[in-house]
Structure 1
Amino acid sequence: MENEKISIVGNKKKMTTKQLILCGLFTALIAVGAFIKIPIPVLPFTLQFLFTMMAGLLLGGEMGAYSVLIYILLGFIGLPIFTEGGGLGYIFKPTFGYIIGFWIASYVTGKIANEKSNPTYKRILTANFIGLAIVYSLGMIYYYIICNFVINTPIGVWPLFLYCFILAVPGDILLCILSALLYKRLIPTIKFIR
């Protein structure tokens, strides 16, 4: 059963059963992470970022991105797994840009960190901080566009920067450091995971 492969895109790309299970596990962890909240104004601090980073680091960029994509698709079909519910209408929530950022950042973080079989802390932290920059860049741009041009609740650049970056980023910086420490300790098990 371990070597059994399941086709996910025609006959070109195949996942092992183990990869499929791990992908599902991280999808579930990301969903659970959405409900572990520390309330701060405008943008709640959750553990989604930690689990999306760990998915990219442990599963590799492609598989980590699949985990986040499945999470997004499950939320779109109506499962209330996003921070404020679910459904296709969630794309009109100002914070949806952060979820798009999680998807891309998981891929990029995993690709950068896993270029070497035993990456240094510096490489892992660099990958994590690049992922953090992707999440916040996409999240803030999306937030600004949705608020100012779609749902007609204008927000200025300074309040956006204050509430959606300055107040939120310190916790995510700590998560970058924590995930680097966890990943470095888990490197010996990666051959078993993949």
Structure 2
Amino acid sequence: MERNIALIALFAALTGALALLPSFTLGFGVPITAQMLGIMLCGTILGARKGALAVLLYLLLIAVGLPIAAGGAGGLGVFARPSVGYLIGFPVAAFAIGLVADRFARPMEFWPAFFASMVGIAVVTVFGVIGMSIMLSVTLPEAMGFALPFLPGDLIKAAIAGGITQGLARARPGLASLRT
């Protein structure tokens, strides 16, 4: 029990730390943050339930005012921005990532973790596009146009998550037991 709580807290902190890394701006002006990498790792390493709980804890910490959202934001105001759909989608994505990874015989390998992370990207994008559509009063296709430039960066993060997951599993063979 204590181990699970510690792991959930550790991955919530990891996600917050990744969100605070300076963004990398693509050549066409779209900033890419490492926040989604944390969400992916929550799912690939902790599994569906614990991964989602870690992300929910991360969101709770943002809500109470810790400045650990992308760009160093915190507080309830973060949930009133056009990006609120992404935030709502984060725990759902972590759960989906863990669920999809669990369907593979070797979920801690690169390809299962990469594929599961891509499913998480799709989940977050759906939530994010719906949230932007509502918050910005634009159509779903217009909101999708806002989201598309972020997808190449998310695919890179999915590859990084796959590599980290596989590397951790090889370095710590008992790591797969964390998923149960």
TM class by shorter chain equals 0.7 to 0.9
Quote the Cα distance in structure 1 between the aligned partners of 2:110 and 2:9. Answer: 27
Give the equivalent residue in structure 1 for 2:92: 104
Which amino acid counterpart does residue 160 of structure 1 have in structure 2?
A: A
How far did residue 73 of structure 1 move? 0.8
Give the equivalent residue in structure 1 for 2:18: 33
Give the equivalent residue in structure 2 for 1:142: 131
Task: Verify: 1:168 aligned to 2:155, yes or no.
Answer: no
Matches within 5 A, 1:112-123: 112-119=100-107, 121-123=110-112
Which amino acid counterpart does residue 144 of structure 2 have in structure 1?
A: F
Give the equivalent residue in structure 2 for 1:4: none
Gaps of 5+ in 2: none
Question: Are the equivalent residues in 1 in contact too, given 2:64–2:74 (CA < 8 A)?
Answer: yes
Structure 2-normalised TM-score?
Answer: 0.84
Gaps of 5+ in 1: 1-15, 149-154
Which of 50, 55, 58 is equivalent to 1:71? Answer: 58
Report the 3-state secondary structure (helix = DSSP H, G, I; strand = E; otherwise coil) of the residue aligned with 1:34.
helix
Whose helix proportion is higher, 1 or 2?
A: 2
Task: Verify: 1:51 aligned to 2:33, yes or no.
Answer: no
How far did residue 82 of structure 1 move? 1.5
Cα distance change of structure 1 residues 192 and 123 upon mapping to structure 2, 3 Å threshold:
closer
Query: What is the Cα-based RMSD across aligned positions, in Å?
Result: 2.3
Report the 3-state secondary structure (helix = DSSP H, G, I; strand = E; otherwise coil) of the residue aligned with 1:168.
helix
Question: Are the equivalent residues in 2 in contact too, given 1:38–1:46 (CA < 8 A)?
Answer: yes
**Higher CA-based Rg:** 1
Q: How many residue pairs are counted as aligned between the two chains?
A: 172
Quote the Cα distance in structure 1 between the aligned partners of 2:90 and 2:114. Answer: 16
Which amino acid counterpart does residue 103 of structure 1 have in structure 2?
A: P
Question: Are the equivalent residues in 1 in contact too, given 2:129–2:140 (CA < 8 A)?
Answer: no
Cα distance change of structure 1 residues 112 and 192 upon mapping to structure 2, 3 Å threshold:
closer
Structure 1-normalised TM-score?
Answer: 0.78
Report the 3-state secondary structure (helix = DSSP H, G, I; strand = E; otherwise coil) of the residue aligned with 1:79.
coil
Quote the Cα distance in structure 2 between the aligned partners of 1:171 and 1:75. Answer: 23
Give the equivalent residue in structure 2 for 1:11: none
Cα distance change of structure 1 residues 92 and 53 upon mapping to structure 2, 3 Å threshold:
same
Cα distance change of structure 1 residues 23 and 164 upon mapping to structure 2, 3 Å threshold:
same
Question: Are the equivalent residues in 2 in contact too, given 1:97–1:140 (CA < 8 A)?
Answer: yes
Deviations 1:53-85 (A, max 9, x none): 111111111001011000111111122222252
Give the equivalent residue in structure 2 for 1:23: 8
Give the equivalent residue in structure 2 for 1:60: 47
